[in-house]
Structure 1
């Protein structure tokens, strides 16, 4: 019995490895070709409750219900884009325009720190003194180079991808329209292609994984928006420049395990201490404390019964995802981890001991 149990567990692990390999190959080599349709399917899932209300309750034809759903989505996106996103882009452009000034200011600050360090370490032996000073000088030059070239190169890459993004958006909307009007038949067709033993479990697995994945994504988006709102209110109170743009960036960074909002706030506060802007430094620390307390109180309630993942596992999944799938790996990595945990909860994969 022990041998058979171990054999069954080994087979499950082999299936897991093969499944992950298939997901990697599909997303890395084929997934890009189907990206608009994947996005269209996600939009279809989001809009389907509204579609059912319009079609079933109010007896609006499927084609018209689908058009109304997509029109509502486009209206909301445009409305938010013109307002909130427009302001973020405006502040982002102003930030990039003023970036050379901030870079020079940071470089001057590091130069002053280097001079102070040189004076402080004169008491050390010559060899150790030279080593320490070289370290800080190299670190200062690396920071300056990153600020000068890193953001510039990133901006160029983003601009080059705009035409392709527009085409993906159009195809995604069209595919979403087609999927909405025929979602049930498409789903039945997919189920029919599965082997009998898998198709019987399809609804159970789909329900468990769907709830876990979308619950996880929804919870993270809610937390990101909450953190960004706290930062925005705090930065407005402090009269900090580019408040909305920086608040959104902090909200996104805060979603990263280990790094968090402190990855931006603490260096910013330290810089203001160095330039003797103590009011802004204290204000930033207060914002950080409020974010920390809010996350500790709210996160368990928002995640609720969703599948929990250890921060280290989440960090590993993000890193591996970024290495395998590029920028989309930031989302794909944790989602794969959530899927694995959901499959374990459904007893399809063996649980960790």
Structure 2
């Protein structure tokens, strides 16, 4: 591999990183603009209107749908979260009362034990209760800090989404011109290969997004149905929370359901604890069966490559790497298929 090729790859990775961080609203906007392009072309052909009018109509419909869904979900989640926070002290009081009752019963048990053994058991129990209390306090502080950070970032989110929605209109109106300007950067002999790369890249990226949406929707349905069957309060908000945590490869649904199940067993709710464990196992099995096929068919890369790229990307650059890692693999595969990039190792005798 020549030094020029290595330099181009390094600069490309740096550009992708900047695009996924500082340029995130523009990246999302151009992805949505490409996604809306078939509808815009169809409206131009059927409605006999110019690109400006067709783009304005389709982008306006998309914006209205997104704002409507965001408002509905936001109202539901916020209302359920407020109700949950109002009832949180009652939940903790109930848990505390159960612990006190357990302490009283165990105290009677200690009295019938040898003094040395009773002292060791009491010390172990106090340590366990202190650990549990510290963990619960840490969870409450984390939740409070999370909502505080969201409140602090509201102005930045407003600017982000304003730029995002305006960029959708601008990209949609000028998409054909932007594509022509991009292709003009390449030599005539390379234009055909670059167009093939763009086609493969478009299929793979939208396949990746579609596959992740399918897996998140599947997880949400399974979690919501499980919560509904178990009679859990606020199933909508809690299901969305579980799905949000599940996006991170290091955590997953088990990081929410398993601690919750342990807590349920501790406070004496064995029905809920067993149900949460069963629900976790069902979700785990279903995802392991469905995910490789969905990723392989939609993205065109193996499930192992997708998993490795997700994990490595996350460990190197954080949450951005969850998207940057698979994109790098997809770009490499697209360039390799058309012959723009070929890595062959030759060993000298």
Query: Is the TM-score greater than 0.5?
Result: yes
1:229, distance to aligned residue in structure 2 (A): 1.2
Q: Which residue of structure 2 lines up, in the alignment, with residue 261 of structure 1?
A: 253
Deviation sequence 1:82-117 (CA, Å, 0-9, x none): 43443123222333444455566678889999998x
Gaps of 5+ in 1: 1-7
Deviation sequence 1:280-304 (CA, Å, 0-9, x none): 1222223223322322333234224
The structure having more radius of gyration, on CA atoms, is 2
Question: Within 2, Cα distance between the matches of 1:109 and 1:334?
Answer: 48
Normalised to the residue count of structure 1, the TM-score between the two structures is 0.78
Cα pair 1:40 1:175 within 8 Å, conserved: yes
Q: Which residue of structure 1 lines up, in the alignment, with residue 276 of structure 2?
A: 284
Question: Within 1, Cα distance between the matches of 2:71 and 2:235?
Answer: 17
1:76, distance to aligned residue in structure 2 (A): 1.8
* Closer/same/farther in 2, CA of residues 60 and 16 from structure 1, 3 Å limit: same
- 1:209 matched to 2:201: yes
- Which residues in structure 2 correspond to 1:27-106 (within 5 Å)? 27=19, 32=22, 34-102=23-91
Query: Which of 160, 169, 177 is the aligned partner of 2:161?
Result: 169
Gaps of 5+ in 2: none
* Closer/same/farther in 2, CA of residues 66 and 195 from structure 1, 3 Å limit: same
* Closer/same/farther in 2, CA of residues 145 and 195 from structure 1, 3 Å limit: farther
Root-mean-square deviation (CA, aligned residues, Å) is 3.7
Aligned partner of residue 249 in structure 2, secondary structure: coil
Query: Which of 149, 152, 171 is the aligned partner of 1:157?
Result: 149
Cα pair 2:245 2:251 within 8 Å, conserved: yes
Question: Within 2, Cα distance between the matches of 1:155 and 1:352?
Answer: 51
Deviation sequence 1:161-205 (CA, Å, 0-9, x none): 212222222232222112212211111112223466754532122
Cα pair 2:313 2:320 within 8 Å, conserved: no
- 1:318 matched to 2:314: yes
Question: Within 1, Cα distance between the matches of 2:252 and 2:276?
Answer: 14
For these two proteins, the number of residue pairs brought into alignment is 332
Cα pair 1:12 1:349 within 8 Å, conserved: no
Deviation sequence 1:22-68 (CA, Å, 0-9, x none): 433x348xx52x44322321221121111111112332332221122
* Closer/same/farther in 2, CA of residues 111 and 209 from structure 1, 3 Å limit: farther
Cα pair 1:309 1:338 within 8 Å, conserved: no
* Closer/same/farther in 2, CA of residues 185 and 304 from structure 1, 3 Å limit: same
Q: Which residue of structure 1 lines up, in the alignment, with residue 219 of structure 2?
A: 227
Question: Within 1, Cα distance between the matches of 2:240 and 2:285?
Answer: 19
Q: Which residue of structure 2 lines up, in the alignment, with residue 20 of structure 1?
A: 13
Cα pair 1:40 1:172 within 8 Å, conserved: yes
Q: Which residue of structure 2 lines up, in the alignment, with residue 240 of structure 1?
A: 232
Normalised to the residue count of structure 2, the TM-score between the two structures is 0.79
Question: Within 2, Cα distance between the matches of 1:296 and 1:111?
Answer: 42
